Copies of this chain bind each other. A is one copy, B any other.
Amino acid sequence: MSAITQQLSKLGITLSTPSAPAAAYVMAVTSGNQVYLSGHIAKQDGKPWVGKLGLDMDTATGKAAARSIAIDLLSTLNAHLGSLDRVKRIVKLMGLVNSTAEFTEHHLVVNGCSELLGEIFGDVGKHARSAFGVAQIPLGACVEIEMIVEI
């Protein structure tokens, strides 16, 4: 059992079957030694996790949604690569938060994803990041995150 598999197990995380794209694209593309993962929207019970921060969802719930996206991103990556042991570095996240014009805690929401990556990958999981509030996300999802990984 690899270090990453052990860490997932220790955290009680089971990778899922990667979700199909909602439209005319693919969920992951390898270019050179980088993998580009499409924006993954938050889901609950297989359906879009709908909500808007600052209106009908609080920061803690948004953070839980971002954490669940981390698991979905890793599920896609695992299926794409065959093994998460091939990950050399989590390079960058772009974290989009469906928010009102008043909400200003997007960074705390996206931490749900960033912190889990740190718990699983340690130093390899330390990434650059942008987080910000958008007008809306496909299907009304509360959070959407894309990721670049070095292999």
The chain A residues found within 8 Å of chain B, CB to CB, are: 21-29, 31-34, 36-39, 52, 89, 91-94, 96, 99-108, 110-111, 114-115, 118, 126-140, 144, 146, 148, 150
Contacts and interface: CB of A to CB of B under 8 A. Distances in A.
A72 B131 CA distance: 17
B135 A133 contact: yes
Contact of A29 (B23, B52, B128): B128
Nearest to A136: B133
A105 B138 contact: yes
A24 B111 contact: yes
B146 A138 contact: no
Nearest to A76: B128
A134 to B, nearest CB: 5
Contacts of A26: 126-128
B29 A106 contact: no
A150 B31 contact: yes
A129 B37 CA distance: 8
Given A115-B24, A129-B25, A136 B32 contact: no
B129 A137 contact: no
Nearest to A26: B126
A67 B52 CA distance: 29
Contacts of A108: 23
